[in-house]
């Protein structure tokens, strides 16, 4: 008996599936932000999103979850445990955070946001073109509205892998 299986032409090849699997494996773990810049499309101006030295971490877990937290380099420290209304505004404006699930396709990772510092991002998919060697990770966004100032831009974010001293 001979069984013939027809594979649709749009089905990914084993090589493509292996590359996606390898990329997904390289992403696993936590990454420290090195820089975050964005190019304003109308002018070509390149700006730092959270200063020259933002503090940020992105973590990709084996269960398919992703978490991101970014703080501005000049983030204020409130004068007391309960921030004043002005301090609260400063704290909100100097952070960026979300969590959700992720999937890997070709040369991109897609973040499926289910909670965010800005609720308008909840339920969205954030597509990032990625390049990594397992030690350094670079993201590039598609052209989109900047969540920091509303201008059309492309973001470039660079990370380095956090190596735990316990592993």
User: pLDDT tens per residue, the chain (167 residues)?
Assistant: 333 334 344 544 333 444 557 888 999 999 999 999 999 999 999 999 999 999 999 999 999 999 999 999 999 999 999 999 999 999 999 999 999 999 999 899 999 999 999 999 999 999 999 999 889 999 999 998 888 788 999 999 999 999 987 75
Furthest-apart CA atoms within the chain: distance in Å: 79
Tokens encoding 3: 């069984």
| pLDDT value for 19 | 52
| pLDDT value for 17 | 41
Q: In terms of C-beta density within 10 A (0-12 exposed, 13-18 middle, 19 or more buried), how is residue 155 classed?
A: buried
In the chain, the domains with their CATH numbers are 14-161 (2.40.128.280)
Residue 130: CB partners within 8 Å, gap ≥ 6? 23, 27, 107, 108, 109, 137, 138, 139, 140
Tell me the whole-structure pTM to 2 decimals.
0.82
| pLDDT value for 47 | 94
- Sign for the CA dihedral angle at 123, 127, 132, 138 comes to negative
- Between CA 113 and CA 108 the distance in angstroms is 16
| pLDDT value for 81 | 96
DSSP lists the bridge partners of residue 157 as: 36, 139
């Amino acid at each position: 008996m001979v069984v013939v299986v027809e594979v649709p032409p749009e089905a990914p090849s084993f090589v493509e599936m292996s590359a996606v699997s390898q990329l997904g494996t390289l992403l696993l773990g936590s990454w420290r932000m090195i820089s975050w810049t964005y190019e304003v499309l109308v002018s070509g101006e390149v700006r730092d999103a959270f200063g020259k030295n933002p503090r940020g971490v992105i973590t990709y877990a084996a269960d398919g979850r992703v978490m991101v937290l970014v703080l501005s380099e000049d983030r204020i420290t409130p004068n007391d445990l309960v921030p004043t209304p002005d301090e609260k505004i400063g704290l909100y404006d100097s952070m960026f955070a979300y969590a959700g699930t992720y999937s890997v396709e070709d040369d991109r990772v897609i973040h499926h946001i289910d909670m965010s510092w800005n609720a308008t991002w909840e339920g969205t998919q954030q597509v990032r073109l990625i390049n990594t060697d397992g030690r350094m990770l670079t993201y590039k966004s598609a052209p989109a509205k900047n969540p920091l100032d509303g201008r059309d831009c492309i973001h470039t974010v660079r990370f380095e892998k956090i190596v735990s001293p316990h592993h």
